[in-house]
Structure 1
Amino acid sequence: MRHAITLTLLALCAFSNKSFAEDARPAQPSDSLVAGIGLAYMPEYAGADKSRVLPLPFLEKTYANGVFLSTQRGIGYETKVGDFKVSAALGYDGGREDHKKNYFSGSDALKGMGEIKGSAQAVLSVGYQLGSVGLGLTTKQNINHREYGATYTLSANTPLYSDATDQIGLGMSATYGDRKHMQTYYGVTERQSIYSNYRPYTAKAGFENVNVGVNWSHVIDSNWSVRSALGASRLMTDAADSPLTKRKTTPMVMTALIYKF
């Protein structure tokens, strides 16, 4: 999956203080396996004016000792330190194509911009529960492509309604990109300008986007549940002003069917 998908998933997952897997976990730590398949409506790339519906497979194995293997979170470890929940994981960003390879990947609006290659990432997170509000900070640091920079995401979420079968929550997040990240995804070099016909543009460090949305989790039985989210993402600062950005505000819709083994 490409960078636009990664951005959308981060935003949608930030809408709740629980991940797909956590919706189905027992109160006491134990091994668990959760799988699911969903659909998401998302832009071809961050700032694109065209969107598409894509399948989103999900699989997560968690262990009582805190280790997790997840298509959503990567391979990592999570634990509690006092009142804080901390995690460290090895993830992957699929990068960005400079042309439309097929329905699932790329955009012809990026012709001449060159490919942004996939990169392994170190994903570090810390969370804190302040009453009913869950607060979080996550940084994603590229490992094998350090020139792509890093991002830092602040998130907050709170429940709106809850009963035996349904949970509705509200969440917000904001992502800050360093200079290298912003230039990689929103800047246009002199060389890229020649081949793409976009004007040269230098993107500085700043907030890349803000997201807000509502999520709904419905428990069908002890094994099955449905999770949906509806929201919007707004590009900010130099990301919004980039010549690559054709639409600053993007709707986000996702639904998934989850099974706990």
Structure 2
Amino acid sequence: MPTFPLHRQAHWIALATLCASAFMGQGALAQEASDSWKFSAGLGLMTQPKYPGSADNKTSLLPMLSANYGRYFIGGLPGAGVPAGVGAFLVQDPRWRVGVGLGLNLDKPRKESDSARLQGMGDIDATALGSVFASYSDSWWKLGGNVVTDLGGKDQGTRVSIDLEARYSPMDRLQLTAGPGLTWADSKYTQTFFGVDAAQSTRSGLPGYTAKSGINALSFNIGASYQLTSQWGLGARFTASSLRGDAADSPITEKKSQNSFGVFANYRF
């Protein structure tokens, strides 16, 4: 079952949605589509960078709610790369899942008040996001990806993410996962989050910097989920991510290493 984080959204909060949908809702997502409503409620605790490139972390409590009806869902969009919204699976079978989604950041992905380094840079506004996503699963591995683009005209461009995940169940109800991932971003996205234009340079004192398209980040994910009952589940996920290319070299970036950790509990009904 997808999940819907209700607290302040930042760019990296997409990880929390992915964690919760991957580990708390995998049983529900594996069920055949049916013409009845299914709901999920849960709670998570997430530690992650305050904004892309930040050296400081923040810890947030994540209340989560979601609903789905057949192929349609409301809340977190599993594997879509956007934090919250509505969407539909176009293809659902034991191996393939293909879907589309429309999501929305519930708050600005970055505020200049997040760090002294950002003073004079201005805020990055929340925007509407569109996504196309797909995954292919075999017995012990899964390959997934998404394309996310800014539909709200806030200069947040387009990014593409690909993840490969190996799965292993050492005992009933317990599943362990691990695998690499990468994110590519176009020049508009990279300039908005990591570039410094002339006006920003004057206000902030940071040197001007033009950020171009390319591999934005490389990551490695480790996760675990345990199904307590048919309705209750627990999970945890750690992601070690490293900014690359122009994102890593930006004067905005305080730290290239961008690690996140989350634990979750979820109830399906």
TM-score tier after normalising by the smaller chain length: 0.7 to 0.9
Contact residue 125 and residue 138 of structure 1 kept, 8 A = yes
Letter in 1 for 2:164: A
Q: Give, in angstroms, the shift of residue 63 of structure 1.
A: 1.4
Aligned match of 2:44: 38
Contact residue 211 and residue 250 of structure 2 kept, 8 A = yes
Aligned match of 2:12: 5
Match for 2:57 among 34, 51, 61? 51
Partners of 2:236 and 2:207 lie apart in 1 by 39
Partners of 2:18 and 2:240 lie apart in 1 by 9
Q: Give, in angstroms, the shift of residue 60 of structure 1.
A: 1.6
Aligned match of 1:242: 250
Please report the TM-score for the alignment, with normalisation by the length of structure 1: 0.88
Determine if the alignment matches structure 1 residue 77 to structure 2 residue 88: yes
Determine if the alignment matches structure 1 residue 233 to structure 2 residue 237: no
Q: 66-75 or 210-219: which moved more? A: 66-75
> What's the C-alpha RMSD, in Å, of the aligned pairs?
2.2
Please report the TM-score for the alignment, with normalisation by the length of structure 2: 0.86
SS at match of 1:148: coil
Contact residue 171 and residue 212 of structure 1 kept, 8 A = yes
Q: 1:19 to 1:257 in 2, by over 3 A?
A: closer
Q: 1:44 to 1:238 in 2, by over 3 A?
A: same
Aligned match of 1:215: 223
Contact residue 240 and residue 248 of structure 1 kept, 8 A = yes
Aligned match of 1:167: 175
Contact residue 12 and residue 213 of structure 1 kept, 8 A = no
Mark the runs of 5 or more structure 2 residues left unpaired by the alignment: 1-7, 79-84
Partners of 1:48 and 1:225 lie apart in 2 by 32
Number of aligned pairs?
A: 252
Aligned match of 2:32: 28
Q: 1:112 to 1:34 in 2, by over 3 A?
A: same
Q: 1:203 to 1:120 in 2, by over 3 A?
A: same
Contact residue 58 and residue 72 of structure 1 kept, 8 A = no
Mark the runs of 5 or more structure 1 residues left unpaired by the alignment: 101-105
Partners of 1:164 and 1:7 lie apart in 2 by 29
- Percent identity between matched residues is 25
Q: How does 1:1-261 map to 2 (within 5 A)?
A: 1-9=8-16, 12=19, 18=22, 20-25=24-29, 27-30=31-34, 31-64=37-70, 66-73=71-78, 74-80=85-91, 84-93=96-105, 94-100=107-113, 106-145=114-153, 147-261=155-269
Q: Give, in angstroms, the shift of residue 162 of structure 1.
A: 4.2
Q: Give, in angstroms, the shift of residue 126 of structure 1.
A: 1.5
